[in-house]
Copies of this chain bind each other. A is one copy, B any other.
Amino acid sequence: MFKRITIIGLGLIGGSLGLAIKHKRLARKVIGVSRRRTTILRALSIGAVDSVTLDLKKGVEDSDLIILTVPVLKIMDLAGHIAPALKKGAIVIDAGSTKNEIVKNIESVLSGSVDFVGTHPLAGSELSGVIYARRDLFKGAYCILTKTRRTDKKALGKVKRFWRALGMKVEVMSPEKHDKCVSRLSHLPHAVSVALSNASRKEDLRLAAGGFKDTTRIAAGSPELWKDIFITNKKNIAADIRILKKELSKIEAALKKGSSSELLRLFKKAKVLRDSL
């Protein structure tokens, strides 16, 4: 599908991408770029990449597909740095968890001879680092691709085929729609998980059972990664927090009234929604 693919950033996503690309033989050569020597060596040793370099420009100059899998704010930094080194006709994609700011920024930075498609594979976990990389991380999950007035149709088609080849279900939407959607389904749950964890009493935590563990699992995610996500999607997340507080207030009001029927109604509604997953 591609001659050379370069993956910049070799964490859980970058490492898993390398393994999956090589397993599916989607490129003749996969090049890994990272700032950390230990990460580079580990990615090489697990076979996630064919060759590695610490040098950004060398890493990208002959590649047909460049994948940016670094934290959200770094994606924007990187795009400016690699722009002059990209070959004509190269496609750049990212795997960032927010899209609006990233897409605007990168579209303004790249020249017309290079195509950019914003992508967000909805895969991952609270674990980070190449040591957790798995070649089946993407299988069966959704990948959202963004489309703007500047998106090239041919490039979009090729990027679709790429993610599908890794086993993903692909959806195309605007960056704005993407950010609204993941705010409610991913960033709000993260905010809630953090709030629940911070509301707990340390001395009682030994008594935490399955419910607490499940609802707070994602609060163990990387604070640095999530900080970037929240900063680049702040309006949507703040609005969703207000909506959640209203939902909580409904339960609170039912408790104050001692209304069994209202509690039952809210619990049933939630169960129907959750069971539909």
21 intermolecular pairs with C-beta atoms under 8 Å apart: A171-B207, A185-B212, A188-B199, A189-B215, A191-B251, A194-B270, A195-B250, A197-B273, A198-B250, A198-B273, A199-B240, A216-B277, A219-B273, A219-B274, A220-B275, A221-B267, A226-B267, A230-B251, A230-B255, A234-B255, A245-B245
Question: Which 5 A-B pairs rank lowest in CB-CB distance, beginning with the nearest?
Answer: A223-B267, A195-B247, A197-B270, A194-B270, A219-B270
B198 touches A247 (CB 8 A): yes
B residues within 8 A CB of A234?
Answer: 255-256, 258
Q: Is the CB of B247 within 8 A of A207?
A: no
**0/1 string, A256-275, CB within 8 A of B gives 1:** 10101001101111110111
Contacts A122-B209, A194-B251, A210-B218 supplied; 16 other A-B pairs, CB < 8 Å: A124-B209, A141-B209, A189-B212, A194-B247, A194-B266, A196-B244, A198-B250, A205-B276, A216-B270, A216-B273, A224-B264, A226-B263, A230-B251, A238-B252, A238-B256, A245-B245
Once the chains bind, are B189 and A244 in contact (CB under 8 Å)? no
The oligomer's copy count stands at 2
Q: Does A193 belong to the interface (CB within 8 Å)?
A: yes
- Which residues from 180 to 218 on chain A have a C-beta closer than 8 Å to any C-beta of chain B? 181-182, 184-186, 188-202, 204-218
Q: A215-B189, A217-B274, A248-B195 are in contact. Are A264 and B227 (CB under 8 A)?
A: yes
Shortest A78–chain B CB gap in Å is 19
Complex contact B186–A204 (CB within 8 A)? no
Asked, given contacts A199-B247, A214-B218, A234-B255, whether A204 binds B223 with beta carbons under 8 Å apart, the answer is: no
Q: Which of B122, B205, B224, B263 contacts A273 (CB 8 A)?
A: B205
Residue A46 at the B interface, CB < 8 A? Answer: no
A256 to chain B: closest residue by CB:
B238
In the assembled complex, the CB of A225 is this many whole angstroms from the nearest CB of chain B, namely 9
Report the minimum CB–CB distance from A163 to chain B (whole Å).
14
Q: Which of A124, A141, A217, A249 has the most chain B CB atoms closer than 10 A to its own CB?
A: A217
Closest to A241 in B: B252
| A125 on interface, CB distance cutoff 8 Å | yes
A144 in the interface, Cβ–Cβ < 8 Å?
Answer: yes
Cβ contacts under 8 Å, A215 to chain B:
189, 192-193, 214-215, 217-218
* Contact indicator B238/A211 (Cβ below 8 Å): no
Find A271's partner among B214, B223, B244 (CB 8 Å cutoff): B223
Query: Within 8 Å CB of A240, what residues of B?
Result: 199
* In contact, B196 and A189 (Cβ under 8 angstroms): yes
Q: Roughly how many angstroms separate A206 CA and B273 CA in the complex, as a whole number?
A: 11
